[in-house]
Amino acid sequence: MKVQIVSRKFIKPSIPTPENLRTYKLSCMDELNTTMNVVGILYYPSIDNNIVHINNLEKSLAQILPQFYPFAGRYNKVNHSVDCSDQGAEYVEAQVLDCDLNEIIGSGVEPVELNNLLPLEIGEADEITNPILSVQVTKFKCGGMAIGICISHRIIDACSFGTFISAWAKANLGDKTEPIRPKFNSQFYFPAENSVFGTTRSTKDTSTVTKRILFDRKAIETLRDRVSDNDCPPSRVVVVSSFLAEAFLRSDRAKHGKSRDCVIMQEVNIRERTVPPLSKYTCGNLVLLTTVECNAEESKSIDFESFIPLLSNNAKKAVSDCANILSNSKNGHTILVDYFLGAIEKINESGKNSLRFTDWSKFKFYDADFGFGKPIWTSVANIPIMNLVMLMNTKENDGIEAWVHLHEEDMTYFEQDEEIKKLTT
Q: At what angle do helices 158-173 and 57-64 cross, to 10 degrees?
A: 120
152: Cβ–Cβ under 8 A, 6 or more apart, which residues?
37, 38, 75, 125, 126, 130, 132, 133
Among 30, 53, 86, 153, the one annotated catalytic: 153
Note whether 287 and 268 are within 8 A (CB).
Answer: yes
Note whether 146 and 138 are within 8 A (CB).
Answer: yes
Among 83, 100, 369, 398, the one annotated catalytic: 369
Question: Rounded to the nearest 10 degrees, how much is the dihedral formed by the CA atoms of 274, 234, 306, 294?
Answer: -30
For residue 224, the one-letter residue type is: R
Q: What are phi and psi of 10, to 5 degrees?
A: -115, 130
- CA–CA gap between residue 141 and residue 46 (Å, rounded): 10
Residue 269: Cβ within 10 Å count: 21
Residue 2 burial (CB < 10 Å; 0-12/13-18/19+)?
exposed
180: Cβ–Cβ under 8 A, 6 or more apart, which residues?
67, 163, 166, 167, 170, 281
13: Cβ–Cβ under 8 A, 6 or more apart, which residues?
62, 65, 66, 69, 72, 86
Residue 65: Cβ within 10 Å count: 24
E strand map for 140-207: 145-152
Closest CA to 114 of 124, 123, 104: 104
Residue 113: Cβ within 10 Å count: 16
Instruction: Decide if 153 is catalytic.
Output: yes
- CA–CA gap between residue 31 and residue 9 (Å, rounded): 29
- Active site residue ranges: 153, 369
